[in-house]
Structure 1
Amino acid sequence: MRGRSLAAALALAFGATTLTVFVLVGSFLYVALEKQIKAQDNLDIVLAARHARRLAEELDSAQSIRDHSERLTSVVLGNEALSMEVFDPDGKRAIEHNIAGALAVPDTASGAATIAALPPLTRVAATTRITEADIGDWTSRNGAPIRGIFTDARLRNGDTASLLVARNMSDRWLLLDRYRDKLTLAGVAGVVLAMLLGYLLIRAALRPLRDIAASASLVTVNRLDTRIAVARVPSELEALVASLNAMLERVEQGFQHLSRFTADLAHDMRTPLSNMRGAAEVALARPRSVDEYEALLASNLEECDRLSRMIESVLFLARAEHPQFVKQLREFDAGQELTHIAEYFEGIADDANVRLRVSGAATVTADLELFRRAVSNLLANAIRYTPRGGEIVLDAGASADAVRVTVENPGQPIPAEHLERIFDRFYRVDPSRSSLPSAGLSQGSTGSTGLGLAIVRAIMELHGGSVHAESDARGTRFVLRFPRVM
């Protein structure tokens, strides 16, 4: 199932964001225009109402209103949306301008238009100042929206006339509707254009990712040395490219390590199998005595033990590399444990004519069985390469941040270029240097399988510690460093 396009998803998100912005901006502009138009219309209505009332107050009587109708209606001339009605003191319409039957209807009883036919409006007293708060809203007979002011005017003879100044808002509604439609059209077009341009720009911006994918596709089992090389990669992707290249380097190193390990394991297992097969073929070449057959079986048994130790060591290394490997940490005296280990190897040391000496004391927090195995492997290795008559020293000491366990033995120094590699699996500086037969080692050691020091390093890594070797003319020292548990 093909996943959704990242460019399309980002383009849609960009379009949605643009739509939201357009809606907010368009709504703000629409409301702002509506308020501005309303404020201007309100001002026109108020000014017209004030002017008309002032002109009416200069007239002497109701008849003067009819005689000077042109003077009063001049207030609303020039604006087809403005209308005016003037009612005499008796409530009858004396003047009308541009109402087109929208403001008042004839009274059915008298046949003439009267104030009673007007919509319910708040009448502004003749002595009260006209303001925008006095503007009322209603709907005409033909459904048009109307805004206006109904006010009284005191004539000179003391009578009171009434004036209605109103504005038809249909043109404003039409203007706002058209403006809204244009905003909608512009918003839709803008969103579509933004999505198209966003998609193209995002695809161009994602091109380095496609180049990275193309470079990664060139990595195969036979080309693990290939690295992702993308020219002018954006700064945001530099960390990704560096991480991928570092991962490829680790994969290459792990694959090479696994290949070497597999080859070394096959080689080391082939040797005892070849020995067993060769000895069996020689024995079967002609009849042998019982003693010769017993010797053959004993030799094959030694080779089987060697294979068993090798397999057990490989299995331990495999388990140690698993993240869920279980350790039983506890506190114990490292000096006492070194003494017990030395006593266990006393017989092997006597056979090799080597002395063992234990010194120092320190409390360490570690897995006791793993501790014993690490020190045993180092001690077995030291016995193997110590000249006859030499002395091996096992020492424990503590510092502020760690406990150090040292196994030191005299003998031929190890060249500096080999000091780090001796902890690799199946690595031997000189296989012919062993002075101790593998059959003489205990079950807990690895004999000459080439895995003893690799197991030591694995054990130290499990404890978060380290192991290193030092070698000079005085001898060789293997130092285990266990961190203190806070």
Structure 2
Amino acid sequence: MRLNRRPSITRRLTLLFVSASSAVLLALGVVIAASVEKHFEEQDMDALMGKMALAQHTLEQLKSQDDLKRITQLLDNSLVGHQGLEVIVFEPNHEVIFATPNANFPIDLVAASAARNPYRSITWAQGEQNYRGIAAELPTGLLTRTGARSKVIVAVATDIAHHQAFMRSFLQTLWFFVAGAAALTGFLGWAAARRGLAPLRAMREQTQGVTAQQLSYRLPVESAPVELAELAQSLNEMLARLEEAFHRLSDFSSDIAHELRTPVSNLMTQTQVALSRARSADQYCSILESNAEEFEHMARMISDMLLLAKAENSLVVPTRQTVNLAAEVLALFEYYDAVAEEKGLHLALEGDGEVSADRLMLRRALGNLLSNAVRHSAANTTVRVRLSASPNMVSICMENTGDAIPQEYWERVFDRFFRVDPSRQRSSEGTGLGLAITKSIVNAHGGTISVASTGAVTTFTIRLPRVP
């Protein structure tokens, strides 16, 4: 998928600003329109109720049929100056008693409203005219044959065409304003989003300069906005991990090239010498035996490097079982007994303990430490292994007397191919990966390993959890 087809944050923020502002303006317009409409209705109702009260007062003054013409004249005079206001008075049998010249009332609607909802606002349209009115059944001063006061239906209405014209103009103006405000808000939102996302674009430009040769570059966290500071910190931590991994890979590649160069060079030299002239069968056998030793050394080195590569990528998964550490150490003592006897070394074990671990992997780690201790111990000394257990941890201390390790190398002795003495040549006894493999095995079991050297006494300490 092409990146330019994906919606940008700027576009999303702009659309969000436009949508939010339009929704707010529309809601505000609806509220204002409803308020104006209600205001007009209240104004009309005030005028209608006033005329209805006047009509009621006038009708109550009727004493005889002769007063009807006078009261009709009073009603007609009361409407002078009220343009658009219409009045009609009719009896329950729909016989009209009084009506303004332009009165245009739906008699049935008015009569029904007077009976069911007196004084309630009703609206209707007659032709091109729109009216709002009220109707009620009012008593007069005339008496019926039974002695009760007679009643008539009075309806008062006003023309609301001017109100509707105003509302149409208002709504039209509102829509134009909302459209203009949405466009303006979109532009301002786009400008604000562009300005607000400027640090993000700057961060992108800065990260584009990061290459395999410039992994040490870090983003400035202090100058980044609060919202991007955590992102910048995370990117810096990622760059630090990449730099560390890249350096480790470069060192690993250099170490491999350096360590394999010697056996390959030896093999090439011996082979070229053997081919330089004809030799006896015994001589060829001797050369092939020497080459076989070099091949075995290279095979062990490649196997060890493969194990380290798996361990660094968490591909080494121990198969756990209960392991008696004292029994494993004694088995290793038997294996190295002949070598120790040649140097006059004494192998001693103190304590006991059990852990849940992979037996073969743990034996290899302990074997690497014991082989290292035997190789670097002075003659006629003791290689001592101390086991101690606590409720949660088991400690394995392997102590030997001999070559000391300077304190500045205590952390580096577990690096691949590291040698305390840089001038020391590759030994046929090991690949230079033993301590690195030991540390990987201990880490895979959730433990730790450390070294300390005091005087001529060097102690390697492994701490393993009793329960994984």
In structure 1, distance between residues paired with 2:127 and 2:110: 10
Gaps of 5+ in 2: 144-148
Q: Is the 8 A contact 1:66 1:95 kept in 2?
A: no
Q: Is the 8 A contact 2:89 2:155 kept in 1?
A: yes
What is the aligned partner in structure 2 of residue 28 from structure 1? Answer: 31
Match of residue 209, structure 2, among 218, 235, 240: 218
Q: Return the letter of the residue paired with 1:485.
A: V
Percentage of identical aligned residues: 31
Q: What pairs with 1:408-419 in structure 2 (closer than 5 Å)?
A: 408-419=399-410
Change in CA separation of 1:189 and 1:462 when aligned onto 2, cut-off 3 Å: same
Q: Return the letter of the residue paired with 1:382.
A: A
Does 1:328 find its partner at 2:319?
yes
- SS of structure 1 residue aligned to 2:213: helix
Q: Return the letter of the residue paired with 2:449.
A: V
What is the aligned partner in structure 2 of residue 39 from structure 1? Answer: 42
Change in CA separation of 1:20 and 1:7 when aligned onto 2, cut-off 3 Å: same
Change in CA separation of 1:124 and 1:354 when aligned onto 2, cut-off 3 Å: same
What is the aligned partner in structure 2 of residue 100 from structure 1? Answer: 102
What is the aligned partner in structure 2 of residue 267 from structure 1? Answer: 258
Q: What per-residue deviation string (whole Å, max 9, x for no partner) do you get for residues 275-305 of structure 1?
A: 2222333344444444433332222211111
Which TM-score applies when normalising by structure 1?
0.86
- Following superposition, the deviation at residue 370 of structure 1 comes to 1.4
Q: Return the letter of the residue paired with 1:138.
A: W
Q: What per-residue deviation string (whole Å, max 9, x for no partner) do you get for residues 213-259 of structure 1?
A: 10111111222222223773101111111111221122122212211
In structure 2, distance between residues paired with 1:251 and 1:141: 83
What is the aligned partner in structure 1 of residue 57 from structure 2? Answer: 54
Change in CA separation of 1:470 and 1:408 when aligned onto 2, cut-off 3 Å: same
In structure 1, distance between residues paired with 2:369 and 2:90: 122
Q: What per-residue deviation string (whole Å, max 9, x for no partner) do you get for residues 9-36 of structure 1?
A: 1111221222222233322333333333
Match of residue 293, structure 2, among 277, 293, 302: 302
Match of residue 398, structure 1, among 389, 398, 406: 389
- SS of structure 2 residue aligned to 1:244: helix
- Following superposition, the deviation at residue 102 of structure 1 comes to 2.0
Q: Is the 8 A contact 1:334 1:363 kept in 2?
A: yes
Change in CA separation of 1:118 and 1:460 when aligned onto 2, cut-off 3 Å: closer
Q: What pairs with 1:133-282 in structure 2 (closer than 5 Å)?
A: 134-142=120-128, 144-156=130-142, 158-229=149-220, 232-282=223-273
Does 1:451 find its partner at 2:451?
no
- SS of structure 2 residue aligned to 1:426: coil
Q: What per-residue deviation string (whole Å, max 9, x for no partner) do you get for residues 54-82 of structure 1?
A: 12212333443332434324544444232
- Following superposition, the deviation at residue 410 of structure 1 comes to 0.9
Change in CA separation of 1:88 and 1:286 when aligned onto 2, cut-off 3 Å: closer
In structure 1, distance between residues paired with 2:315 and 2:70: 110
Larger mean Cα displacement after TM superposition, 63-72 or 14-23? 63-72
In structure 1, distance between residues paired with 2:77 and 2:389: 111
Which TM-score applies when normalising by structure 2?
0.89
What is the aligned partner in structure 1 of residue 18 from structure 2? Answer: 15
- SS of structure 1 residue aligned to 2:50: helix
Does 1:463 find its partner at 2:465?
no
Q: Is the 8 A contact 2:354 2:466 kept in 1?
A: no
Q: What pairs with 1:54-73 in structure 2 (closer than 5 Å)?
A: 54-73=57-76
Q: Is the 8 A contact 1:374 1:459 kept in 2?
A: yes
Change in CA separation of 1:70 and 1:409 when aligned onto 2, cut-off 3 Å: farther
Q: Is the 8 A contact 2:79 2:85 kept in 1?
A: yes
Larger mean Cα displacement after TM superposition, 76-85 or 252-261? 76-85
In structure 2, distance between residues paired with 1:290 and 1:432: 37
Q: Return the letter of the residue paired with 1:416.
A: Q
- SS of structure 2 residue aligned to 1:383: helix
Q: Return the letter of the residue paired with 1:210.
A: R
Q: What pairs with 1:374-389 in structure 2 (closer than 5 Å)?
A: 374-389=365-380
What is the aligned partner in structure 2 of residue 315 from structure 1? Answer: 306
Change in CA separation of 1:179 and 1:389 when aligned onto 2, cut-off 3 Å: same
In structure 1, distance between residues paired with 2:111 and 2:152: 17
- SS of structure 2 residue aligned to 1:470: strand
Change in CA separation of 1:279 and 1:72 when aligned onto 2, cut-off 3 Å: same
- SS of structure 2 residue aligned to 1:485: coil
Q: Return the letter of the residue paired with 1:71.
A: L
- The ranges of structure 1 where at least 4 consecutive aligned residues each deviate by more than 6 angstroms after the TM superposition are none
Does 1:477 find its partner at 2:463?
no
Change in CA separation of 1:314 and 1:89 when aligned onto 2, cut-off 3 Å: closer
> How many residues are treated as equivalent by the alignment?
460
Q: Return the letter of the residue paired with 1:39.
A: E
In structure 2, distance between residues paired with 1:480 and 1:428: 21
Q: Return the letter of the residue paired with 1:140.
A: Q
In structure 2, distance between residues paired with 1:235 and 1:269: 51
Q: Is the 8 A contact 1:61 1:159 kept in 2?
A: no
CA RMSD of aligned residues (A): 2.7
Larger mean Cα displacement after TM superposition, 185-194 or 144-153? 144-153
Gaps of 5+ in 1: 105-115, 439-446
In structure 1, distance between residues paired with 2:305 and 2:109: 106
Larger mean Cα displacement after TM superposition, 462-471 or 340-349? 340-349
Change in CA separation of 1:209 and 1:198 when aligned onto 2, cut-off 3 Å: same
Q: Is the 8 A contact 1:62 1:89 kept in 2?
A: no
Q: Is the 8 A contact 2:222 2:229 kept in 1?
A: no
Change in CA separation of 1:369 and 1:35 when aligned onto 2, cut-off 3 Å: farther
In structure 1, distance between residues paired with 2:209 and 2:352: 57
- SS of structure 1 residue aligned to 2:112: coil
Q: Is the 8 A contact 1:355 1:391 kept in 2?
A: yes
